[in-house]
Amino acid sequence: MNSPDLSKMKQDCSNSKECLEMLQMILDGEATTQQKEHFLKEHLEQCMPCYKNYHLEVAIRELLKTKCTSHAPQELVDNIRKQVSQKLAS
């Protein structure tokens, strides 16, 4: 993914729920190649909220991988995701 021109990115996402679902599918390895390419190469380069969400989610997942000796319980992951989403929405 290229570094987008942050000054030209839209500041609101009209499809935030769908984008968050797509982001989860991509990071969970459930998205098709076409879905992944479109979202990462086109949408993220134009949408600041989704760009931030993507990088935040990647950072959270990397942190959990390094801090947990085994997979984090799904309940913990869901709780963290819920709290992050609430903070981003406010």
What pLDDT was estimated at residue 62?
Answer: 87
Statement: residue 2 has pLDDT above 60: no
* pTM, entire model: 0.64
Q: How far apart are CA 60 and CA 77, in angstroms?
A: 9
pLDDT for 8-36, tens place per residue? Answer: 778 888 888 888 899 999 999 999 999 99
State the DSSP H helix or E strand holding residue 82, giving kind and residue range, or none if neither.
helix 74-89
Measured over the CA atoms of residue 36, residue 22, residue 82 and residue 5, the dihedral's sign is positive
